[in-house]
Amino acid sequence: MCFDQDAANEAIAANIGIRHSDMARRVCAAVEHFITSALYASSNREVVGGTANVGGVTVRVPLQCFAIMADSRPHQVVHTRGRVGVREVVQRARLDEAARHGIEEGAINKGFNDHLGNADCQFGGWQQLGRIDEGGQWVTLGIN
C-alpha cells in the first residue's frame, strides 16, 4: 500500500486552528495513531464503522483503536480496541483546552453520542492512552 504519513500529518496540522498548543499536539498524535491503525485494519467496515443496535437504534461503530490503562492497576487495560475512538480522544483534547481557558464543559458542542454527555471521552490522563500491540502487550502512545 502506498501511503505518505508526512503528507497526512501536514494536512492534519494545517486544519487545526490553534497550532502550537497542547490541543493541536494531542489531536495530531491521536489522528496519526488512528490513520496508522486504519492502514492495518482488516476491512473498510472496521474503519468507517459496522453497525450496532444501541437502544433499538442502528448506529455506526467506527474504528476504536485506543486503549486506556487503569490508574490503580499498572498495565491492566480498562478499555480495549472497540471502546475508545479518535473522536472521543479529540473531544477530550477540546475539553482540556476549554478548561484551560475557563470555558465550561457544557459550552462545547460534542456533535456525536450526545446522549452520553462526555462520559465516553473521560480517561484518567493522557499518559494512560495507548494501544495493545500484536503480542497483547500495553504500549503507551506517549501523548501528554
Segments making up each domain of the chain, as ranges = 5-140
Q: pLDDT for 60-84, tens place per residue?
A: 777 778 877 766 555 555 555 446 7
Tell me, what's the pLDDT at 78?
55
> How distant, in Å, are the alpha carbons of 61, 79, 140 from that of 23?
25, 22, 18
pLDDT confidence band for 47 (50 / 70 / 90): low
Bridge partners (DSSP) of residue 68 are 79, 129
Q: How far is Cα 69 from Cα 2, in angstroms, rounded to an integer? A: 33
Lowest model confidence (mean pLDDT) among 21-25, 91-95, 97-101: 21-25
> How distant, in Å, are the alpha carbons of 22, 25, 51, 77, 93 from that of 29?
11, 6, 27, 20, 11
Greater pLDDT, 41 or 95: 95
Beta carbons of 143 and 29 less than 8 angstroms apart: yes
Q: How far is Cα 27 from Cα 87, in angstroms, rounded to an integer? A: 10
High-pLDDT (> 90) share of the chain, %: 6
Amino acid at 64: Q
